[in-house]
Amino acid sequence: MHNAVVVQHPELIAALRAVLPAGALLVEPEDTQPWECDGLTLIRQRPMAVVLPDTEEQVVQVLQLCHAHGVPVVPRGAGTGLAGSAMPNAEGVLLAMARFNRVLSVDALARTATVQPGVRNLAVSDAAAPYGLYYAPDPSSQIACTIGGNVAENSGGVHCLKYGLTLHNVMRVRGWLVDGTPIEFGGLALDAPGLDLLAVMIGSEGMLAVIAEVTVRLVPKPQLARCIMASFADVGQAGDAVAALIAAGIIPAGLEMLDQAASRLVEPFANAGYDLDAAAVLLCESDGTPAEVAEEIERMCSVLRAAGATRLQVSADETERLRFWAGRKNAFPAAGRAAPAYYCTDGTIPRKHIGTMLKAIAAMELRFGLACPNVFHAGDGNLHPLVLFDDSDPDSVARAEAFGAEILEESVRLGGTITGEHGVGMEKINQMCSQFDADSLEAFRGVKRAFDPAGTLNPGKVVPSLHRCAEYGRQRVSAGRVAFPELPRF
Amino acid sequence: MDTALQSLVDQVQAAVASHTPLCIRGSGSKDFYGNLPQGQVLDVRHWQGIVDYDPSELVITARAGTPLALVETMLSEQDQMLAFEPPHFGLAATVGGCVAAGLAGPRRASAGTTQGAVRDFVLGARLLDGRARQLRFGGTVIKNVAGYDVSRLLAGSLGILGVILEASLKVLPRPRAELTLQQDCDEAAALLRCNQWGGQPLPLSATHWHNGVLSVRLAGAEAAVREASATLGGQPLPTAHAAQFWTALREQSADFFAGDLPLWRVSVPSTAVPLGFDAPQCFEWGGAQRWLRSDLPAAQLRARANQLGGHATLFRGGDRSAGVFTPVSSAVLRVHRGLKAEFDPTGIFNPGRLIQGL
Ligand SMILES: Cc1cc2nc3c(=O)[nH]c(=O)nc-3n(C[C@H](O)[C@H](O)[C@H](O)COP(=O)(O)OP(=O)(O)OC[C@H]3O[C@@H](n4cnc5c(N)ncnc54)[C@H](O)[C@@H]3O)c2cc1C
């Protein structure tokens, strides 16, 4: 998407300058340009201004001023989001919260940590480590992404199946409504009176409130973790193995899959020792006490063997376990090396359809003329197909976008969702029209109004307008397939 | 449209047209809970049935009127369970009531794995709202961040946003081994122990303290339970006895809950010191849920709960007319008003049940 013309608002800028320290207000195009996108580089927009406050008082003043002028505010953490949720608004102020980067307290006995929103995900676990505790949700971007962003996206990681998403690990969020009114969701007890607003706040993509402080739950570090690397000659069989593990009553600490193209993509990069002849590799982790892990690994191995695994390798020590994971965790950078650009989507489907989905994606590779290695959180049915394309070629870009859209449509058709953990943002806003009916979309708008009546906090994201859905409907051909390549997705 | 559903839609439409308040009701097992029920009863029991259950997907979808007991029986046949261990409070409790009340049982604060509040296991829901719209939120997959998480907002909503028509709930395998241990200790020591254990990789699945006895349920892999029992120490309860013990706690049929004194639920950080008060008390959830039998003034109990970082609810008995829940802040109330206006503009659903005047 092209940059829309930035709207100027000299009066507001002057007022912001008066409340912010030097260097905390950026307005010149060359200064705002680095902020024009998040991790989804396909969509860019320069904001009217970027503000980088470092006190809560400044944030409140920014919110009050913008509210008084009816100017949109878009909160931003580290900008690693993959859906364009933090894409700036041409008429608005980008509120960068990264300077709020302090861990305020760790209460080892209560197993909680209270942190500012700009604290990086991994920094929370680092702060908790001396107490034998950690923060469980571990997105692959955890060295960079912030807790504020995690809460806004309800981020997941490779251990969600057993340890839950951000939602299950956040107890309390303090922040402000768009007009600067302070508000608190949840609390230090396990519940709070009234509706569970915390549940709807988490995953709201910066559209309901600005986050000032988060209290997360910490969990004890397991004594031991071991990982099985299993090879399969067929992706369908690997998918069935995932279902078989669950049916056997096993909840692995991690259960990830790479197809052959993905293994071949990451191996030269990570030297993980993946079986490059296998059609699919499954990584299946057990954690707990040594006796517990031994018991579970044995059960896992027998289920995997019965499901047709051609090769099983159990990590002998921590170094080997980390090596197994290195491939999976480096899938994105490896994709970045293998092609000028890659586009990662995030559909989630019922586990039983994994094989069907992978076959559908293989057919799309031919149709769109682009390669698409697949890595995914198999235990959750959460796919991350990596469409490789050339971002200097407009035709290649258009094909990549249409490919991604088609994967999302297929996810909905298979009874799943267009996004498991990355959010809708701008990226998947059209496919919201496929997943939800008009009434449910209107109800989402109602939720937004309840928090933000003027609609100025991160406007235009996630929930498509009626008009947009009508347009999107017209652009799709009657067979239910996305018209290609004319379709502008953004 | 199914006739049972059509009838619900018709009744809601009629109530909207005539501005008649509705009291949404399953079996009525939780009539005692929340502010006084008001309005004409909207009985959802005919809208029942399991819509889908696939054990390897770890999710069950059921209509609101489906008996909770039926769901639990189906799950246990597949060695699975509702991991929030919901109290039934009656033989005919329904799925809709379970979600709307949002109450969880002893397993709520189990350690390590996913926490066990009802909302943590809600994956999707259908709602009949105050514009008679049938809305669908969430879905049936474990990870889903498309749109605002309204289905989870419905857990514990006590019906103020509309009629929960259907819920998809995440289920979990039953633990392979379970063991309950008891040891003698006073309340402060019990609180400390529970919190210390919570920070260790132990398979705790429930804790309870009452009258100088701390009871701990371990659940998980056989090896883990065996090892943990050696670490914790204490007297093992025979299996059948243990099952009865936790059921009686969950269903509040244990002696502690008998009699007419008002029952207060005090929700505080697990590390909060003992409440004090010269009144019968017990705690669960590692100290995070405390029960108290007392006719002390609400203001006094609420002030104490607030001081400890939590809130107090008049759970059962007593005078409900002054409101059983701790009032919310004005900013939070503003959002509640906004949500109520969007989902139930004429204010017909369960008026006042969760928040007085709303
Ligand atoms: C290489 C790579 C790997 C990734 N792996 C994963 C993964 O495994 N799992 C996963 O779930 N995601 C993953 N992501 C996506 C991304 O890292 C997450 O969505 C992350 O939570 C975004 O955090 P952020 O701080 O970068 O937020 P941003 O991208 O800056 O913002 C994301 C959203 O949060 C809002 N926001 C940020 N701060 C605040 C605040 N203080 N108040 C209110 N709203 C706020 C923004 O408005 C926006 O809507 C990955 C991304 C990359 C680039």
pLDDT higher than threshold 50 for residue B49: yes
Lowest-pLDDT range, A329-338, B15-24, B285-294? A329-338
Provide mean pLDDT across the span A441-468. 97
A423 Cα nearest atom in ligand 1: 19
| Cβ pairs A/B, distance under 8 A | 285
- The pLDDT of residue B326: 98
- pLDDT given at position A381: 93
B133 shares a domain with B233: no
Given this model, what pLDDT does residue A423 score? Answer: 96
Task: Provide the pLDDT for residue B112.
Answer: 53
Last residue of a domain, one of B250, B272, B307: B250
**Confidence at residue A135, expressed as pLDDT on a 0 to 100 scale:** 97
Q: Say yes or no: B21 and B150 in one domain.
A: yes
Confidence of residue A480 (pLDDT cuts 50, 70, 90): very low
The CATH number assigned to the domain holding B113 equals 3.30.465.10
Domain termination residue (choose one: B173, B199, B221): B173
Question: Is residue A48 predicted with pLDDT exceeding 90?
Answer: yes
Q: Are residues B201 and B134 in the same domain?
A: no
d(CA A157, ligand 1 centre) in Å: 12
Given pLDDT bands bounded at 50, 70 and 90, which one contains residue A3? confident
**pLDDT above 80 for B347:** yes
Residue A484 confidence (pLDDT): 43
pLDDT confidence tier of residue A22, bands split at 50, 70 and 90: very high
Mean pLDDT of A245-264: 94
φ, ψ of residue A202 in degrees (nearest 5) = -70, 125
- Give the model confidence (pLDDT) of B173-195 as tens digits: 999 999 999 999 999 999 999 99
Please check whether residue B345 lies inside any domain of the structure.
no
User: What confidence score (pLDDT) does residue A42 get?
Assistant: 86
Query: From CA A179, how far away is CA A104, in angstroms rounded?
Result: 25
d(CA A317, CA B180): 34
Residue B347 lies in a domain: no
Report the domain count for chain B.
2
Query: Do B20 and B149 share a domain, yes or no?
Result: yes
Please identify, by atom number, the ligand 1 atom nearest to the C-alpha of residue A205.
Answer: 49
pLDDT confidence of residue A481: 47
CB B71 within 8 A of CB B62: yes
Decide if B358 is inside a domain: no
Question: Tens of pLDDT along A103-136?
Answer: 999 999 999 999 999 999 999 999 999 999 999 9
> What percentage of chain B exceeds 90 in pLDDT?
96
Residue B263 lies in a domain: no
What is the CB neighbour count within 10 angstroms for residue B176?
18
Contacts 24+ apart (CB under 8 A), B333-338: B333/A194, B334/A177, B334/A181, B335/A177, B335/A183, B335/A197, B335/A450, B335/A451, B336/A194, B336/A195, B337/A450, B338/A449, B338/A450, B338/A451, B338/A453
Residue A169 near ligand 1, beta carbon < 6 Å = no
In terms of domains, do B87 and B14 share one? yes
B181 lies in the same domain as B106: no
pLDDT tens per residue, range A61-88: 999 999 999 999 999 999 999 999 999 9
A477, pLDDT greater than 90: no
SS3 B323: coil
Residue A489, pLDDT score: 37
- Say if ligand 1 is within 6 A of residue A76 CB: yes
Cα of A327 from ligand 1 centre, angstroms:
22
How far apart CA B353 and CA B22 sit, in angstroms, is: 11
Residue where the block lists tokens 């006739």: B3
CB contact under 8 A, B150 and A200: yes
pLDDT of residue A187: 98
Q: Is A205 in the pocket of ligand 1 (CB under 6 A)?
A: yes
Token readout for A82 is 């993959």
Minimal Cβ distance to A443: which of B135, B139, B198: B135
* Same domain, residue pair B146 and B71: yes
Ligand 1 in contact with A206 (CB < 6 A)? yes
CA B254 to chain centre: 18
Residue A490 is predicted with a pLDDT of 37
Q: Which of B223, B250, B277 is the last residue of a domain?
A: B250
A219 touches chain B (CB under 8 A): yes
Which residues 78-137 of A are in CB contact (within 8 Å) with B? Answer: 107-111, 131-133
Look over chain A and give the mean of its residue pLDDT values, rounded to a whole number: 94
Domain carrying residue B207: 177-250
> How much distance in Å is there from the Cα of A87 to the middle of ligand 1?
12
Judgement on whether residues B166 and B195 belong to the same structural domain of the protein: no
The ipTM, to two decimals, is 0.97
Q: Are residues B209 and B161 in the same domain?
A: no
Least confident of A36-45, B34-43, B338-347: A36-45
Where do the DSSP E strands lie in A160-209? 170-176, 182-186
Residue B275 lies in a domain: no
Domain for residue B52, yes or no?
yes
Of A396, A391, A332, residue with least CA distance to A368? A396
Which two three-digit tokens encode residue A52? 């980088």
* pLDDT on residue B303: 98
Q: Is residue B79 over pLDDT 80?
A: yes
Average pLDDT over residues B205-229: 95
pLDDT digits (tens, 9 = 90+) for B249-285: 999 999 999 999 999 999 999 999 999 999 999 999 9
Mean of pLDDT values over A322-350: 90
Note the pLDDT of residue B108: 94
Is B278 among the domain residues?
A: no
pLDDT band, very low/low/confident/very high, at B115 (cuts 50, 70, 90): low
Would B291 be classed as within a structural domain?
A: no
> Is it the case that residue A158 has pLDDT exceeding 90?
no
B149 and B238 in a single domain? The answer is no
pLDDT of residue A362: 95
Chain mean position to CA B258: 20
Q: Are residues B133 and B202 in the same domain?
A: no
The verdict on B149 and B227 lying in the same domain is no
Q: What does the pLDDT read at residue A1?
A: 53
Q: Quick one: pLDDT at residue A332?
A: 86
